[in-house]
Amino acid sequence: MRKRLLGQTGVLVSEFALGTMTFGQEADESAAGAVLDHYVESGGNLIDTADVYPPVGPRGASEEIIGRWLDRQPGRRDSIILATKCRGRMDDSGNSEGLSRRWIIRACEGSLRRLKTDYIDLYQAHQWDPATPIEETLAAFDSLVRAGKVRYIGVSNFTGWQLERTVLTAQNLGLSVPVSLQPQYNMLAREIEWELVPVCLEHRLSIVPWGPLGQGWLSGKYRRDAAPTGPTRLGEDPNRGLEAYSRRNIERTWRIVDAVQAVASELGGRRRGSPCAGWPTVPGSPPRCLAPGTPNSSGTTSWRPTSPLTNANGPSWTTSAHR
């Protein structure tokens, strides 16, 4: 798997990231461990999580699963770029959320404990916090970097003006500057192209998108003429994901979904006799294709290229298996 530099750092990350939002919810510990094993064996090294994952169930379970997995892999920690986030509410005790200095330091200590590690490679603000001055937030992140508990910082789900203000404030105060943005980005949600992508290009921040398959809408498993059923996100809860896509413009959503399925079908037809023709592969026997919906020669579905990771070295790709 090819590697790209993370922002303006010298850190190489794999073109495919592994998102772990539903570890502990849709993927139990055994399944999560199998996914992690397969990912690193395929050459991946960027594992992304958050303290509030999974969204349903015990908070911190995803980090705990990853921590126990790392604990069973002596010597593997140094080869993994581990990313997590803080901002969301962890409990109802009060002051257990936000981007205040008090909570950021406490949240970081909790993530380090659950992940069973001494440091976090990429520590990200999960969302903007209107209650806390950005100067306080950046100073707290900078103190963690200086203490060696965090290597780099990033942000997620920021708007254009929030990202620009954050970067300029950090530069002006001589604090650690974010190296990446993690926004929602897929063919159903392209709003980041209006302002966020230009800001990232201007300041050479990497874009590490979440939701590249639109919560399953772009995976090919949902169709106009069949209601979602079975063990899928919309099958278990038909309203899940509809707020973000279908109810906003259901006809537009289905046109895009239909187009994706048509292209996938056409590409599949062109590749008879050579499942990986025209697409990069993961070395192995048999090789695994890096194509959307393309089965490899063992009949399993491969990792899928999704949205671009923009940095100084040109475009690359990132995806997440459980988002």
- Closest to 306 measured CA to CA, from 319, 295, 316: 319
In contact, 30 and 24? CB cutoff 8 Å: no
Specify whether the CB–CB gap between 205 and 167 falls below 8 A. Answer: yes
CA distance linking residue 284 with residue 186, whole number of Å: 29
By C-alpha distance, which of 203, 205, 202, 241 is closest to 55?
241
The amino acid at residue 169 is: T
- Distance CA(142)–CA(282), nearest Å, equals 37
Q: Residues 168-173: contacts with CB within 8 Å, 24+ apart? A: 169/134, 169/135, 169/138, 170/138, 170/142, 173/135, 173/138, 173/139
Q: Which of 39, 53, 185, 222 is catalytic?
A: 53
Residues 121 and 151 sit within 8 Å (Cβ to Cβ): yes
- 185 flagged as catalytic: no
Q: Which residues are catalytic, by number?
A: 53
